[in-house]
Amino acid sequence: MPDATRYPHPQDVANLILYLQTELALFEQWAAQEGIPSAALRPIERSQEALRRAVDQLELREWYRELTYGFRDQLGRLEEWL
């Protein structure tokens, strides 16, 4: 009998999407600091849009919301400590 558990787990997929979005955002910030033309960043923008759509298409919104809430909470605590 096949295992009924979804694999990969939706939380893992949401976490991967959040990780990719974070890395792309860091690259965008670096590119802005280096003066890279915005036209060169269009593929990054399209990737970000596709990842946002994927959250809904893959029905990951609940997991994604939970992960981003936890991420924001950790950042808030870090800012308090600094």
| pLDDT band, very low/low/confident/very high, at 25 (cuts 50, 70, 90) | very high
What is the pLDDT at residue 1?
Answer: 46
Which pLDDT tens digit goes with each residue over 43-81? 999 999 999 999 999 999 999 999 999 888 888 888 888
Query: DSSP secondary structure string, 4-67?
Result: -S-SS-HHHHHHHHHHHHHHHHHHHHHHHHHT--GGGGHHHHHHHHHHHHHHHHTT-HHHHHHH
What SS3 state is found at 1?
coil
Cα 60 to Cα 4, 11, 17, 26, 27: the distances in Å are: 18, 7, 10, 23, 24
What pTM does this model have?
A: 0.79
